[in-house]
Structure 1
Amino acid sequence: MKGKSVFRLFYWLLLIVAPSVAFLSYLSNRNSYPDLVNDGVADIQQYDLNGDHIIHLRGTFTFFQHKLLTPNEVLSQRSTGLPMSVPSFWSESDIMTRYGYGTYHTRIVMRNAPEYLGLYYDGVFTCASMFIDGKLVSTVGQVDSDPKNCIPDVESALVMFEPESDTIDLVIQVANYDFRSGGVNGEILLGESRKLNFLLSFRMILKGFLLGGLIIIALFQLGNALLPRSSYIYFIFAAICAILAVRVLILKGSPLYLLYDFSYIFKLRVEYMTLFLGVPMISAIMHGFFPKDYRKGFVFVFAGFGIVFSLVQFLLSPANNSWLIPPFQVITLIQGVLITFYLFVVVLNKRPDAYVFLIGWVMVLFGLVHDILETSGVLDNGIQLTPYLMFLFIFVQANILARRSSMAFVQVEELSARLNFVNQNLEKMVAERTHRIEKQNSELEKQSRKIDKQNRELQKTVDSRNLVLTVIGHDLRGPIGNISEMIDLLLSADIDGETQQQILSAIRQSATSSFTLLENLMYWGRAQSGKISYNPDLYSVREIAGEALNLLESAAKEKNITLENFIPPDQMAWCDFSHVNLIIRNLVNNSIKFTDSGGHIIVSSRVRNNPQNKQKYLEVLVRDDGIGIPPEKLEMIFSSEKVETTWGTNNEKGSGIGLPLVKEFVSINKGQIYARSKVGEFTTFFFTLPVKQ
């Protein structure tokens, strides 16, 4: 049994991990090249096209809106073109309407170009003509400025050619009157002809494998459906496999197009019909597996939507047909949320095969959401996942059905197992005893780890307490003692006004230092005990910095240091006001301490983009022209494990907890902090803040 469990676990992990690894590997290969086209020029000299490189041409092409230019006209009018992102729809730009025509151009600069090159492109909506070095090499449909003469098609195209030099001028004329938005929203691949042809052949084989698998499963389930006393779910499986097979056959890049190419309208209507009829069948499968939990009414509702959309699309023109997709995507998401909710109910009710169905459905739901975002232009992964994940889902559910069909045989095995249990009862008792002992040992190990964790936390608390006592005993006693001695001097001595002002200034500096140290100790203690309150809102960072600099103005004047606030008034951040005030005060106070007389301290900010999630954030900089930080200490300045007392340029004493405290508060405010420095020249602290909730 254990071996079967391991095999079953390996089986399910393979079904989940294999497509995940394949998808991530595909994304890694696709995204390994940056946006190589910039301002209409693709400089790919660093890539060896004679090797295994397949270049993804994407970026900013030169675009001439409402013009169908010849290659010579493009070269003569190149300076008048506008930037247009590829891949993208026209509706995503500000320079082009959804319908119309235009010309794309890019110049490709290579090094040691192969003897034969291949160029593949797809996803051109809805017709295109391609020119390479002034020669017409490919057409998809028929491009014309007059809608009546324009013939739509969205098939992919592969061009093999001999490059005349290491520089290629690529011109693509595009027109659209038959889809909800025109543009080049697919991929453009460039590579050595054999390597590129091999890649496309592999894709074709993969689709052929998918098609063959769907047909085999459909025939197998149809055979089961024709058996006596069979469930209607076999008919549903056969139908959905047949619909998916037709969809794979009709989509671009299908093996069927090697034999026959259908018209654009036929492909569009069949593609949409398979979508409208196939998606609601998932509800039918859900009801077939879990009839007590998932209501039959849902099946009729979503099937009704599918039938209505299928009929309506035959009444509309191709241009209007594409507008049916967004509302149907909303219906698909509603169905997905509903099925997900009831699957959790099924799992809670402990229905057979609930977890397996849930895992398969999560894969399909991920594919549906991915493909919706892909067709909407939000994502640019260049692949439709739903057919492949639906195939895996159907394959898994077919296995479940096969297993349920063999339950009679399993029951016989269970009777045999009960007889063996009587004969092997003693061995089972020993095994159970051993299991209990192992379980007790496991619990003892868990308790031991828990005690070790508590000991580490207790030691951390003791270390924090010792640090506070050390700072109070050594760092706080000095400033307070100085204040007491200078007050005695003021009261007992007959001193002139200038000396009196100097003493008062020294008292103020010591008092400010003591207040800052006490405030840092208070926040340090709260941070170590996890009791810091966090009340964020949208605040002006310039206002926060201004309040902090006002408090430090007198300390800066004592050293003749100039404080400057260069943060723009309109820059806002989502943060806790008091936290960011403390952060800036500590950083500026630190800069004052380690900057010589006559120095400058500048607080500035800038808005930046996160390259991973494409979201904006605010970066605040505190820069001084002080003594700098040695490289060996730069990595440790934010560490709270080893706190050291430091001395400023005027022998100002620091506790060493300011910068670790700053890092704690930056983290609480969802930011990061780091520093750059050069000894004897400058130190700059950078910390980030979110610009919105």
Structure 2
Amino acid sequence: MKRDNSVKIVITLLKLLLIFICAPNASGQTKVENGFLDLRSADFTEKIYKLNGEWEFYWNKHLLPSDFKQREKPVPDTWGKVPSYWIKYADEIPGIENTGYASYRINIRFPENISEVVFDIPVFDAAFRIYIDGKYVGGNGLAGKSEAESKPGYDPFTYTHKVTDETVEVIINVSNFHHRRGGFWIPMKIGIPEKVSVSLERQNSISNICAGMLLSFACFFFVFFMIFKGNDATLFFALASIGILIRGISTGTYLIFTFVDINWITLIRLEYTGSFIALICGAWYFYRIYPDKYFKIICTIITVLFSSGIILVLTSPVLIFSHSIRIFIPAILLILSYYGARSIISMLKAERKGILNTIGFIALLIGVINDSILSTSNTFLFSSYILPYATVVFIFMQVIILISIWVNSFKEEKRLLAELEYVNQNLEKIVNKRTSELSNQKSELERQKEEIQKTNEELKKNITIKNRVFSIIAHDLKTPVVNLAMLTDNTRNLIGEEKREILTEEIGKQLDFTINLIDNLLIWGKAQQDQIDYRPGKWNMTDIVLDCFNLLNARAQMKSIQFSYSHRGSPEAWCDRNLVSIILRNLLTNSIKFTPEKGKIYVSVEEITDINPYLKVSVKDTGVGIDYDNLEKLRKNEIIKSTPGTRGEKGTGLGIQLCHDLIKVSKGRMHITSTRGEGTIISFTLPTQSWPGD
């Protein structure tokens, strides 16, 4: 799976996760200000509203509805932010403590068309009673003014209220002498009966489904461990699932009350014990799937610390062991950070388990952060505990991973058995196939040997070319220069116009030869290094041919050689004029060199109309021709040894090869035919239109 696709899948599934969890918690955003909430413009047909904001707060007072009917009404100590533990009001109320008792009060104004609302009343730390419009409607435990008078309790409920007055008064007496903090720490909600009923049924259904899935997954992983006893990661996972299940049914919708009636202290002990078991076993599970020697030390410390914490939970009062949450939250964030980092690294390596673990990590992280913040009376994403739901997503990812491992193991086992059976039945064929493979390997080695030999031949050819160049420089270039020096010296001592003209003519020949040799060497050297400057355009070949005739006419006249030119069709070609001029000059010079006195040289240009039209240029002479061996070398583009012309003219053997290279640069092809004693025809082609990239 590619990295980019993995990231996209994580983002998409995360969005679906958020939508899934957010759906049952959607509610209107309202705010209580100075103990009053105005809902006259609220749309109760669409939303459920939270009673969050500034409630009247009375410290160390349990006020009754009758107290607010007196002439001198009680004055609040502060406008307390709800939801929040009351210790957070310490700046406004000096001396306030975590333990104590207090009263909350709010007035709500409803729309005229609302005749009935339902109050969704959460739990308080640690006991409360509630009055609505002067009537006691219920509570949890016993809210008293001392520890002896108080009895903690958790059991959220709803109350349906008939709205008869324009304003509804809500008074809540809260006491806490048993928990680390006291107060109104979960939002209260109101809505019409239909909306609240649907919302609660949805929450209860999801809670029941999650509990059932946690129990099923725990059993599944335990059975998996019993089958594959070497994989203790599944045992840790099963125990972690049990721990989360215990915590889940002891919080949120308090599903445990469906099966058994237990007291508040046992309920809190189950919550903390389940959390600690999940933390210890979860840490070891993460270590098993991502081993690391340093993380193993952390797991050992967590095991010792929170095993002691379980003993503390079972033997001490809630007021004492509830402070362990200060250690629990950093510990779980630490192991989640390790698990998340390793999962993301695995995902970036395009490993399938990496993407699944990353999705599970994100779900757990959201659940842990939300529940941890909610436990401090603040709201992160949701106003209720969601870790059990997030854990189901995480466990589901682990189930996929383990099932995938099991399926792959089963497939691998099946594959190995099939291979073994195949080997037993086809041993002779396998041996023959292996023999054939060895033979193929031998053929491949021989092919590579041939390639090496071919490369060596090319290297030898290159060395030959270099040696040829140095030979030309050392001999052919040196000879005309020495001859020029001797002729110049003889000219000074000659008397007589006729002899002077003969020497002058010879000097001219030597100069022409030297200049032509140097030009050919320079251009050929560039061709060998792919440095030819090719600048094509539309040119008339008649002009180029006639220019070459004019340039070489004097040399041809010295042997009474006649030039002839003809063309058929359009003579225009797509070429570099300078390169084509060099090609023609070399071919004409060669023809002059090997054509006897009063011979003829014909140049023809013919337009070939085909699917890919081109121009064919031919140079034909009535010279001595080329012998078979040299003709074959020329056709293979090999350098040949230069032979003297009909009047002893010298050469380098580079001319034809240079023409071949320049014709190739010009997107053309060269063809040579020759008959000994009759002459030679050298033709080449040129494109008539531009090529891609020109």
Q: Could you tell me the TM-score, scaled by structure 1's length?
A: 0.55
Alignment of 1:32-51 (within 5 A): 32-35=28-31, 37-49=32-44, 51=45
- Asked if the contact 1:294/1:342 (under 8 Å) is kept, the reply is no
- Report the secondary structure of 1:64's partner residue: strand
- Asked if the contact 1:287/1:294 (under 8 Å) is kept, the reply is no
Alignment of 1:363-382 (within 5 A): 363-379=363-379, 381-382=382-383
Out of 264-273 and 18-27, give the one that drifted further.
Answer: 18-27
* Residue 69 (structure 1) aligned with residue 40 (structure 2): no
- Report the secondary structure of 1:172's partner residue: strand
Equivalent residue for 1:523?
Answer: none
The alpha-carbon deviation at position 75 of structure 1 amounts to 4.1
- The residue type paired with residue 92 of structure 1 is K
Alignment of 1:126-145 (within 5 A): 126-145=126-145
- The residue type paired with residue 56 of structure 2 is T
* Residue 248 (structure 1) aligned with residue 248 (structure 2): yes
| Count of equivalent residues | 412
CA distance in 2, matches of 1:114, 1:345: 55
* Residue 403 (structure 1) aligned with residue 404 (structure 2): yes
- Asked if the contact 1:368/1:386 (under 8 Å) is kept, the reply is yes
- The residue type paired with residue 20 of structure 2 is A
The alpha-carbon deviation at position 397 of structure 1 amounts to 0.8
- Report the secondary structure of 1:379's partner residue: coil
Q: What does the per-residue CA deviation read over 1:160-190, in whole Å, with 9 as the maximum and x for residues that have no partner?
A: 2322223211111111111122110111111
- The residue type paired with residue 184 of structure 2 is V
Change (3 A) 1:308 1:346: farther
- Asked if the contact 1:123/1:187 (under 8 Å) is kept, the reply is no
The alpha-carbon deviation at position 412 of structure 1 amounts to 7.5
Change (3 A) 1:228 1:358: closer
- Report the secondary structure of 2:148's partner residue: helix
* Residue 119 (structure 1) aligned with residue 136 (structure 2): no
Equivalent residue for 1:87?
Answer: 83
* Residue 19 (structure 1) aligned with residue 20 (structure 2): no
- Asked if the contact 1:89/1:183 (under 8 Å) is kept, the reply is yes
Equivalent residue for 2:306?
Answer: 306
CA distance in 2, matches of 1:290, 1:328: 22
CA distance in 2, matches of 1:371, 1:379: 9
CA distance in 2, matches of 1:197, 1:356: 35
Q: Which runs of 5+ in 2 are unaligned?
A: 423-432, 434-694
Equivalent residue for 1:281?
Answer: 281
The alpha-carbon deviation at position 80 of structure 1 amounts to 0.9
Alignment of 1:121-270 (within 5 A): 121-227=121-227, 229-270=229-270
The alpha-carbon deviation at position 414 of structure 1 amounts to 7.9
- The residue type paired with residue 34 of structure 1 is T
CA distance in 2, matches of 1:296, 1:53: 49
CA distance in 1, matches of 2:209, 2:310: 28
CA distance in 1, matches of 2:228, 2:329: 38
- The residue type paired with residue 315 of structure 1 is T
- Asked if the contact 1:120/1:157 (under 8 Å) is kept, the reply is yes
Alignment of 1:294-693 (within 5 A): 295-343=295-343, 353-379=353-379, 381-411=382-412
The alpha-carbon deviation at position 394 of structure 1 amounts to 1.2
- Asked if the contact 2:186/2:384 (under 8 Å) is kept, the reply is no
- The residue type paired with residue 291 of structure 2 is P
Compare CA radii of gyration and give the structure with the larger one. 2
Q: What does the per-residue CA deviation read over 1:108-149, in whole Å, with 9 as the maximum and x for residues that have no partner?
A: 111135443211121411111001111100111101112111
- Asked if the contact 1:207/1:254 (under 8 Å) is kept, the reply is no
How many percent of aligned residue pairs carry the same amino acid?
A: 18
- Asked if the contact 2:243/2:276 (under 8 Å) is kept, the reply is no
- Asked if the contact 2:33/2:53 (under 8 Å) is kept, the reply is yes
Q: What does the per-residue CA deviation read over 1:58-82, in whole Å, with 9 as the maximum and x for residues that have no partner?
A: 1111111111111110343545113
Q: What does the per-residue CA deviation read over 1:300-339, in whole Å, with 9 as the maximum and x for residues that have no partner?
A: 2222222111111223211122211112222222333344
CA distance in 1, matches of 2:370, 2:252: 18
CA distance in 2, matches of 1:13, 1:350: 15
- Report the secondary structure of 1:147's partner residue: coil
CA distance in 1, matches of 2:188, 2:128: 13
CA distance in 2, matches of 1:358, 1:55: 35
Change (3 A) 1:115 1:348: closer
- The residue type paired with residue 392 of structure 2 is F
The alpha-carbon deviation at position 237 of structure 1 amounts to 2.1
- Asked if the contact 1:293/1:342 (under 8 Å) is kept, the reply is no
The alpha-carbon deviation at position 343 of structure 1 amounts to 4.6
Change (3 A) 1:312 1:195: same
Q: What does the per-residue CA deviation read over 1:489-513, in whole Å, with 9 as the maximum and x for residues that have no partner?
A: xxxxxxxxxxxxxxxxxxxxxxxxx
Out of 340-349 and 182-191, give the one that drifted further.
Answer: 340-349
Equivalent residue for 1:496?
Answer: none
- The residue type paired with residue 20 of structure 1 is L
- The residue type paired with residue 68 of structure 1 is H
Out of 172-181 and 159-168, give the one that drifted further.
Answer: 159-168
Change (3 A) 1:317 1:229: closer
CA distance in 1, matches of 2:138, 2:369: 33
Change (3 A) 1:242 1:170: same
| Higher relative contact order (CA closer than 8 Å, sequence separation 6+) | 2
The alpha-carbon deviation at position 295 of structure 1 amounts to 4.9
- Asked if the contact 1:221/1:237 (under 8 Å) is kept, the reply is yes
The alpha-carbon deviation at position 14 of structure 1 amounts to 6.0
Report the RMSD for the aligned CA atoms in angstroms: 3.2
- Asked if the contact 1:155/1:252 (under 8 Å) is kept, the reply is no
CA distance in 2, matches of 1:299, 1:145: 44
- Asked if the contact 2:268/2:318 (under 8 Å) is kept, the reply is yes
Q: What does the per-residue CA deviation read over 1:640-665, in whole Å, with 9 as the maximum and x for residues that have no partner?
A: xxxxxxxxxxxxxxxxxxxxxxxxxx
Q: What does the per-residue CA deviation read over 1:575-617, in whole Å, with 9 as the maximum and x for residues that have no partner?
A: xxxxxxxxxxxxxxxxxxxxxxxxxxxxxxxxxxxxxxxxxxx
CA distance in 2, matches of 1:108, 1:38: 11
The alpha-carbon deviation at position 220 of structure 1 amounts to 1.6
- Report the secondary structure of 1:211's partner residue: helix
- Report the secondary structure of 1:149's partner residue: coil
Q: What does the per-residue CA deviation read over 1:544-567, in whole Å, with 9 as the maximum and x for residues that have no partner?
A: xxxxxxxxxxxxxxxxxxxxxxxx
Change (3 A) 1:344 1:15: closer
Change (3 A) 1:324 1:157: same
Equivalent residue for 2:552?
Answer: none
